[in-house]
Amino acid sequence: GGILEVQPSVVTILADTALRAGDLDEAAARKAKEEAERALANRGAAMEIAEAQNQLAQAMAQLQALEHLRRNLKH
């Protein structure tokens, strides 16, 4: 999550983290998603579950961004 402000001469992004589209790696995101899902299925300690949930959310966000970029590039 975050905030994006677009002005005629400047774009401002306020976010905890941000990645450029060119830095997204679909294979790495899919691998991270699978690893996080495995960690959640194994139900380890509470901290491990929280970390796996965080990794899963990040991987899913990257995959969604890639899909959004693909759809927009087709138009």
State the pLDDT at residue 10.
94
Write out 16-68 in H/E/C secondary structure.
CCCCCHHHCCHHHHHHHHHHHHHHHHHCCCHHHHHHHHHHHHHHHHHHHHHHH
Other beta carbons less than 10 A from residue 59's beta carbon? 20
Contact assessment for residue 37 and residue 57, using Cβ atoms and an 8 Å cutoff? no
4-57 tens-digit pLDDT: 899 999 999 898 887 888 888 999 999 999 999 988 888 777 778 888 999 999
pLDDT of 75 reads: 66
